[in-house]
Each structure stands twice: as C-alpha cells, then as structure tokens.
C-alpha cells in the first residue's frame, strides 16, 4: 500500500521531549501522523499544534482530560477510519517502538494479515534494556493472559500494531473496558475471537531515553483484574455451553 494511505496513531501524555523527533521519523517514511493528546500539562499539546501548523500530514486531537490509553486510541481510531486510510498503525511516542519497523508490519498486512503485531516474544524479538525482573513480570503477564483467556498471541501486551482498516472497523474498540495497557490485551483477545488473521512480527523493544514511563501499579492492577474477570467469564460460558 502507498505510505500516504497509512495513518499512524500516537497517544501522548507528557511527551514534549519525544514528539517532534517521532513526528519527523514517521513523516520521513511518508506516513500520516495522528496525535491524540490527553491535555498534557508539560505542553505536549502545544508542540503538537505547532507541528501540525507547519508540517503537512499531521493532525491533532485534543482531549479534555487524562482518560487513559484505551479511550485515547478509540478516539484516534475513529478519526483515522473516517478517511481513506488502508491501514492504521498504533505505537508509543517514546521510541520504544522503532519507527523504521512500521514498514515491516505493513509488509505483513500487505501480504494478507488483518493485523501485524510487533512482538518481543517470538524468535527475533528482544528487550535488551530490561532487567531480569522486568522481563519476568512481562513474560508472566503474557503467560497469565494466554492461559486465562485461551489466546495464542505471545505478546498480547505489546502496543506496536498495524491494522488493515477493514479489520479494525470490525473491532469493538469503542466499547473496550480497559483504560490502561490492558487495552492491548483486550484488543488482542477480541481480534482472536473475531477470527482475524494475526501475525506476530519480531521487534526489538528499547527503553525510552527521554521523559518518563506512564506504567504504574494502578495500570498493572487494572490489567490483572480485567484479565482475571474476562478469563473466568469465558470459562463459565464454556462450562454452561457443555451442560
């Protein structure tokens, strides 16, 4: 697909130090960029407006308050799908996802996948900057999600994905429950439930060098709570179906 038919959706909250660099990296490849800012107090929204006013291919959505990753992506997806985009990419603003890998994900969509998921946990994927404890926590969370939800995706918590527009339109992203990074798990689960063709593409995930992570205990606990509830509900549904 032609790059100008691709929209990259990037939610931001206090990413002033990263945004201009990321925008340049995305636009250099010919993609369009949609920034969804949750009223960042550090002036990220102002930087986004300045970029949009001076550079073609950038659009900005300003949200009234910090409402979380899930609602931000839902609004961004809605806007992206309102146009003629053939594919929608989701990624972080902090360069933990390498913008040059966007093309690798899109190649997989071009080859027939409904969604290409950047994966740290398939052969070739890596997290070179992480401590052993962080790797253990992330792998454990993904294993927990696979076991409880019965999904096959190795990296359900990853947030670097390219969606075929038609496939994303079929997803119930407007009614997701998760507000934090559990949104990624919820979307992965729904994609499998819909029978979408999902391909995991190995990526090297790097730690940010500017700004600070938004991952907190509350986000982890929300994800664990939701995955547990979804998993139990799916098991009870399965048991009722067999009775």
Tokens of 48: 């986004």
What pLDDT is attached to residue 189?
Answer: 96
What pLDDT is attached to residue 59?
Answer: 97
What pLDDT is attached to residue 73?
Answer: 96
Helices 217-242, 182-193: axis angle to 10 degrees equals: 30
Whether the per-residue pLDDT at 239 is higher than 80: the answer is no
- Dump the DSSP string for 1-66: --GGGEEEEEEESS-HHHHHHHHHHHHHTT-EEEEEE---TTSHHHHHHHHHHHSTTEEEEE-SS-
Q: 199: helix, coil or strand?
A: strand
- Report the phi/psi class of residue 59: left, alpha or beta, with left for phi > 0 and alpha for psi in -120 to 50: beta
Beta-strand runs (E) in 132-195: 161-164
Structural domains present in the chain: 3-242 (3.90.550.10)
Centre a 10 Å sphere on the Cβ of residue 106 and count the other Cβ atoms it contains. 24
- For residue 175, the 8-state DSSP code is G
Band (pLDDT 50/70/90 cuts) for residue 221 is: confident
Contacts of 11 by beta carbon, 8 Å cutoff, 6+ apart: 36, 37, 38, 69, 72, 73, 76, 93
pTM of the model: 0.93
pLDDT digits (tens, 9 = 90+) for 98-130: 999 999 999 999 999 999 999 999 999 999 999
Query: Beta 87-90 vs 198-202: how paired, if at all?
Result: unpaired
Whether the per-residue pLDDT at 153 is higher than 80: the answer is yes
Give mean pLDDT, residues 203-212: 84
Band (pLDDT 50/70/90 cuts) for residue 195 is: very high
Q: Which residue has the higher pLDDT, 30 or 1?
A: 30
Number of H helices, E strands in the chain: 8, 7
């Amino acid at each position: 697909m032609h790059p100008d038919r691709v929209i990259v959706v990037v939610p931001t909250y206090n990413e002033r130090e990263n945004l201009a660099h990321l925008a340049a990296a995305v636009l250099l490849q010919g993609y369009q960029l949609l920034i969804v800012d949750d009223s960042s107090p550090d002036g990220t929204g102002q930087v986004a407006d300045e970029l949009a006013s001076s550079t073609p291919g950038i659009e900005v959505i300003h949200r009234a308050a910090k409402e979380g990753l899930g609602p931000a992506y839902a609004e961004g997806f809605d806007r992206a799908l309102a146009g003629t985009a053939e594919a929608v990419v989701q990624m972080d603003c902090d360069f933990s996802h390498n913008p040059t890998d966007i093309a690798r994900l899109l190649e997989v969509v071009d080859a027939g996948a409904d969604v290409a998921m950047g994966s740290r946990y398939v052969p070739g994927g890596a997290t070179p900057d992480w401590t052993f404890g962080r790797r253990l926590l992330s792998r454990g969370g993904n294993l927990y999600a696979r076991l409880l939800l019965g999904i096959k995706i190795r990296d359900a918590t990853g947030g670097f994905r390219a969606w075929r527009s038609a496939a994303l339109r079929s997803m119930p992203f407007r009614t997701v429950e998760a507000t934090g990074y559990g949104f990624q798990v919820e979307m992965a689960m729904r994609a499998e439930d819909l029978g979408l063709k999902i391909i995991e593409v190995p990526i090297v995930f790097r730690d940010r060098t500017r700004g600070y992570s938004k991952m907190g205990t509350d986000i982890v606990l929300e994800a664990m709570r939701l995955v547990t509830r979804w998993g139990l509900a799916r098991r009870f549904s399965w048991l009722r179906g067999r009775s």
